């Protein structure tokens, strides 16, 4: 027994050892398998990506600077000279000092004083740049971008100020140029800091408030005087863009008005200091898209935010509806958004039955351009029927039927005296208060029942849904047409940014250009619907399901010709007709020129945003436009540029507008 036992024991131990060895052998592959777990694979992948990334980065950094250009040229053939080089070769040189006036949204804002949550952000950009803070602390950021609801000025304890210098608006975000290309080309002619000036202002404020708070208008005035003096008396060329156009209109009036309200420059200030005003993409008569912006926070301009930060406004992340309300709450405190409400009312923008653009069809102009006009009866009929449908005058219609129906068929119930009612959910929405929360279902339904709103009625609508905002705004802006421009009431600053209620300054030698892109569908009128959802939501929404057979109505939006943001009518009318020759708006007969740039999308991806683009911001990189600007800066007159350059139907449309001149 014992022997057997003894024998057995080693055997078994041997077996155990063998077993153990076997185990080991079998365990090792097992463990190996376990090592290749999901986590390891992830790490491995990340590692691979990183290594490749670094290699690419390294080769990118080690690459000679001219390489991208080389590749581009290899693919698309030699690039045309940038306009700066081209014009320099012709012997043009720096002559007149240049002033840039940036538009809404594109200029940077920085923090000078903030609440505790903004620690470390002193003098850093809150707007423009990388927008890093929007991600990190969105609510804090909102708190600082918002203005006071009553005064339209800083909330207590917060000071957000415009960035100064050319950096204020050369790039909006890294790689997204605004003025940079133009500045680069001007520099080739010899321009530098001493004869270029960026008139940056806080674009959230109403125009007069920029003077009240920051003395911005005074500083622009002094800087223009300084530049004119240091350039040997050569007058300045002003280049406003987008809302900057209205801002500068306000400035021209302000600077000549006497001191308490104006700048006290005297009646000849503009004649003495300004050579030309080259308005780029100017919304002289407003933009229809500002209406949905104020009405339901659904602007495409704010879409720049969306483009930069798609995640943030995405529906599912961060509760989109709350986000929209936050946006609305913030933007409604910005007086400047109200400067772009369509001006001139029904006379300019059309009534229920007519509009200046009627008969426009996106396809038609292209055909004209191609020069292959084929008189095709069926198509013409088509066009006519289309024309019947598109009632651009109805800027907001509730439901597609209302947008299409003939005027006689519309049944409208007046909303003006409707009882607003009370919002039941008032208490729960406190943190994101918009004026909609003072409205109950009665009010909302009344608005919807009126069906159709024209430009005049839009103002009443906004007054109905947002009385406090409009009360604040109407102290600074006016949207009408002057009966008699000599009426002393027009000395008030609220009329100064409306070209239909002010006279141009007495400066017969000055020239006014309007430069804008055409050939891009631009928002003109909207089809709205009611939202049926949550208590705190904004009650109205663009009805994105509204489509038409033709391309004019898509996603609830009627589009016309324009530069994607400003319709041609708004950008071109004043220079094409309102100020052409000696009119009551232009008593000294300042020469005006319309320069249109037909949009051509970038041919390849390598071109970036294109050198022939006509889009609202991208046009600042349009070579033809830059060349025009350079020539004027170097001394050319409008005649020397070649006078008008018109691709759109602006003259036809301008003729349809019945306005006393």
Total number of residues binding other proteins (CB under 8 A)?
A: 67
Minimum Å distance from CB 183 to other proteins?
7
Do 578 and 499 contact (CB within 8 A), yes or no?
Answer: yes
The pair of structure tokens assigned to 598 is 């037909």
Q: Does 303 bind other proteins (CB under 8 A)?
A: no
Among 75, 85, 139, 229, binds other proteins (CB under 8 A): 229
> How many CB atoms are located within 10 Å of the residue 277 CB?
27
User: Per-residue DSSP letters for 208-238?
Assistant: HHHHHHH-HHHHHHHHHHHHHHHTTSPPEEE
Q: Residue 390's closest CA among 524, 288, 520, 567?
A: 524
Among 1, 65, 259, 605, binds other proteins (CB under 8 A): 65
Q: With CB under 8 A as the contact rule, which of the stretches 175-183, 470-478, 565-573, 638-646 interacts with other proteins?
A: 175-183
Tokens 């960026």 correspond to what residue?
A: 198
C-alpha dihedral (166, 172, 176, 178), degrees to nearest 10: -50
Q: With CB under 8 A as the contact rule, which of the stretches 184-192, 347-355, 376-384, 513-521 interacts with other proteins?
A: 184-192
> Which of 44, 413 has the CB closer to other proteins?
44
CA distance 645 to 568: 13
Q: Does 596 bind other proteins (CB under 8 A)?
A: no
Q: Does 312 bind other proteins (CB under 8 A)?
A: no
CA distance 460 to 396: 12
First-residue to last-residue Cα distance in the chain: 129
The pattern of x and - marking residues 377 through 406 that bind other proteins according to CB under 8 A reads ------------------------------
CA distance 625 to 79: 17
> Which of 52, 549 has the CB closer to other proteins?
52
Do 136 and 194 contact (CB within 8 A), yes or no?
Answer: no
> Which of 37, 551 has the CB closer to other proteins?
37
Q: Does 233 bind other proteins (CB under 8 A)?
A: no
Q: Does 89 bind other proteins (CB under 8 A)?
A: no
Q: Does 183 bind other proteins (CB under 8 A)?
A: yes
The catalytic residue among 144, 543, 616, 628 is 616
Q: Does 21 bind other proteins (CB under 8 A)?
A: no
Q: With CB under 8 A as the contact rule, which of the stretches 141-149, 225-233, 382-390, 542-550 interacts with other proteins?
A: 225-233
Q: Does 219 bind other proteins (CB under 8 A)?
A: yes
Q: Does 223 bind other proteins (CB under 8 A)?
A: yes
Q: Does 363 bind other proteins (CB under 8 A)?
A: no
Q: With CB under 8 A as the contact rule, which of the stretches 109-117, 323-331, 333-341, 530-538 interacts with other proteins?
A: 109-117
> Which of 170, 561 has the CB closer to other proteins?
170
The pair of structure tokens assigned to 583 is 């009119």
Separation of CA 264 from chain center:
32
> Which of 180, 246 has the CB closer to other proteins?
180
> Which of 224, 429 has the CB closer to other proteins?
224
Q: Which of residues 113-172 bind other proteins (CB under 8 A)?
A: 113, 116-117, 119-120, 122-123, 130, 135-136, 159, 161-162, 164-167, 170
Among 9, 18, 48, 55, binds other proteins (CB under 8 A): 48
CA distance 253 to 70: 50
Phi/psi of residue 638, nearest 5 degrees: -60, -35
Among 72, 149, 218, 588, binds other proteins (CB under 8 A): 218
Is the torsion defined by CA of 553, 557, 563, 566 positive or negative? positive
The pair of structure tokens assigned to 171 is 């790039």
The catalytic residue among 170, 335, 456, 563 is 563
- Cβ contacts of residue 87 below 8 Å, gap of 6+? 188, 189, 627, 630, 631, 634
Q: Does 318 bind other proteins (CB under 8 A)?
A: no
Is the torsion defined by CA of 317, 318, 324, 330 positive or negative? negative
Separation of CA 623 from chain center:
21
Phi/psi of residue 46, nearest 5 degrees: -60, -45
- Provide the H-helix boundaries in 36-98: 38-62, 67-76, 83-89
N residues, the chain? 661
> Which of 112, 534 has the CB closer to other proteins?
112
Phi/psi of residue 280, nearest 5 degrees: -105, 120
Among 17, 36, 76, 80, binds other proteins (CB under 8 A): 36
Minimum Å distance from CB 332 to other proteins?
25
> Which of 130, 545 has the CB closer to other proteins?
130
> Which of 183, 252 has the CB closer to other proteins?
183
CA distance 424 to 534: 12
Q: Does 193 bind other proteins (CB under 8 A)?
A: yes
Q: With CB under 8 A as the contact rule, which of the stretches 10-18, 179-187, 372-380, 643-651 interacts with other proteins?
A: 179-187
Do 544 and 526 contact (CB within 8 A), yes or no?
Answer: no
CA distance 469 to 640: 46
> Which of 261, 646 has the CB closer to other proteins?
261
Among 11, 20, 26, 47, binds other proteins (CB under 8 A): 47
Q: With CB under 8 A as the contact rule, which of the stretches 33-41, 320-328, 534-542, 647-655 interacts with other proteins?
A: 33-41
Q: Verify whether residue 616 is a known catalytic residue.
A: yes
CA–CA–CA angle 204, 155, 534 (5° rounding)? 80
Among 17, 54, 258, 266, binds other proteins (CB under 8 A): 54
CA distance 511 to 592: 6
Do 306 and 541 contact (CB within 8 A), yes or no?
Answer: no
Do 158 and 114 contact (CB within 8 A), yes or no?
Answer: yes
Q: Verify whether residue 242 is a known catalytic residue.
A: yes
Q: With CB under 8 A as the contact rule, which of the stretches 3-11, 46-54, 269-277, 609-617 interacts with other proteins?
A: 46-54
Do 462 and 294 contact (CB within 8 A), yes or no?
Answer: yes
Q: Does 40 bind other proteins (CB under 8 A)?
A: yes
- Provide the H-helix boundaries in 453-577: 455-465, 467-474, 568-573
Helix (H, G, I), strand (E, B) or coil at 424: helix
Q: Does 112 bind other proteins (CB under 8 A)?
A: yes
The catalytic residue among 200, 206, 242, 570 is 242
Residues engaged in binding other proteins (CB under 8 A): 25, 28-29, 32, 35-36, 40, 42-51, 53-54, 57, 60-61, 65-66, 112-113, 116-117, 119-120, 122-123, 130, 135-136, 159, 161-162, 164-167, 170, 173-175, 180, 183-184, 187-188, 190, 192-194, 214-216, 218-219, 222-223, 225-226, 229-230, 311
Active site residues: 242, 563, 616
């Amino acid at each position: 027994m014992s022997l057997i036992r003894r024998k057995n024991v080693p055997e078994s131990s041997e077996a155990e050892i063998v077993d153990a060895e076997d185990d080991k052998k079998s365990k090792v592959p097992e463990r190996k398998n376990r090592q290749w777990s999901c986590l390891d694979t992830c790490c491995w992948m990340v590692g691979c990506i990183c290594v490749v990334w670094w290699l690419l980065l390294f080769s990118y950094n080690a690459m000679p600077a001219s390489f991208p250009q080389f590749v581009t040229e290899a693919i698309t053939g030699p690039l045309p000279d940038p306009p700066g080089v081209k014009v320099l070769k012709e012997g043009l040189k720096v002559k007149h000092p240049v002033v840039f006036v940036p538009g809404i949204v594109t200029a940077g804002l920085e923090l000078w004083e903030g609440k505790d949550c903004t620690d470390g952000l002193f003098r850093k950009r809150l707007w423009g740049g990388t927008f890093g803070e929007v991600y990190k602390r969105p609510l804090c950021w909102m708190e600082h971008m918002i203005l006071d609801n009553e005064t339209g000025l800083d909330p207590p304890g917060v000071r957000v100020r415009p960035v100064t210098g050319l950096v204020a608006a050369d790039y909006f975000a890294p790689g997204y140029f605004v003025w940079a290309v133009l500045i680069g080309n001007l520099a080739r002619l010899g321009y530098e800091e001493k004869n270029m000036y960026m008139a940056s202002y806080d674009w959230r404020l109403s125009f007069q408030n920029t003077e009240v708070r920051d003395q911005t208008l005074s500083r622009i005035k002094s800087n223009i005087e300084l530049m004119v003096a240091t350039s040997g008396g050569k007058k300045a060329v002003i280049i406003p863009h987008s809302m900057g156009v209205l801002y500068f209109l306000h400035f021209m009036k302000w600077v000549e008005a006497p001191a308490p309200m104006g700048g006290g420059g005297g009646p000849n200030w503009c004649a003495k200091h300004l050579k030309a005003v080259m308005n780029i993409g100017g919304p002289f008569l407003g933009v229809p898209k500002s209406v949905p912006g104020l009405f339901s926070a659904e602007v495409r301009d704010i879409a720049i935010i969306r483009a930069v930060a798609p995640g943030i406004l995405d529906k599912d992340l961060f509760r989109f509806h709350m986000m929209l309300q936050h946006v609305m709450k913030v933007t409604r405190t910005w007086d400047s958004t109200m400067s772009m409400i369509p001006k001139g009312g029904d006379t300019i923008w059309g009534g229920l039955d007519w509009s200046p653009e009627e008969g426009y069809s996106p396809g038609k102009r292209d055909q004209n351009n191609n020069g292959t006009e084929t008189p095709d009866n069926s198509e013409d009929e088509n066009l006519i029927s289309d024309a019947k449908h598109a009632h651009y005058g109805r800027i907001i219609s509730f439901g597609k039927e209302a947008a299409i129906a003939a005027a006689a068929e519309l049944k409208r119930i007046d909303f003006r005296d409707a009882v607003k009612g009370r919002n039941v959910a008032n208490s729960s929405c406190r943190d994101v208060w918009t004026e909609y929360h003072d409205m109950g279902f009665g009010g909302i339904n009344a608005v919807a029942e009126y069906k159709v709103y024209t430009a005049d009625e839009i103002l009443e609508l906004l007054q109905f849904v947002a009385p406090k905002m409009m009360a604040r705004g109407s102290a600074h802006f006016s949207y009408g047409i002057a009966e008699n421009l000599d009426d002393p009431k027009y000395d008030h600053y609220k009329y100064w940014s409306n070209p239909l209620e002010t006279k141009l300054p007495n400066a017969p030698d000055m020239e006014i250009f309007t430069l804008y892109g055409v050939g891009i569908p631009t928002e003109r009128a909207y089809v709205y619907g009611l939202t049926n959802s949550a208590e705190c939501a904004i009650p109205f929404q663009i009805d994105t399901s509204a489509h038409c057979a033709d391309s004019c109505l898509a996603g609830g939006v009627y589009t016309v010709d324009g530069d994607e943001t400003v319709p041609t009518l708004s950008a071109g009318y004043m220079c094409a007709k309102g100020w052409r020759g000696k009119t009551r708006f232009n008593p000294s007969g300042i020469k005006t020129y319309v320069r249109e740039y037909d949009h051509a999308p970038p041919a390849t991806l390598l071109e970036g945003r294109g050198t022939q683009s006509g889009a609202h911001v991208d046009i600042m990189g349009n070579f033809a436009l830059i060349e025009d600007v350079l020539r004027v800066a170097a001394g050319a007159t409008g005649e020397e540029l070649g006078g008008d350059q018109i691709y759109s139907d602006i003259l036809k449309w301008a003729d349809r507008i019945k306005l006393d001149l």
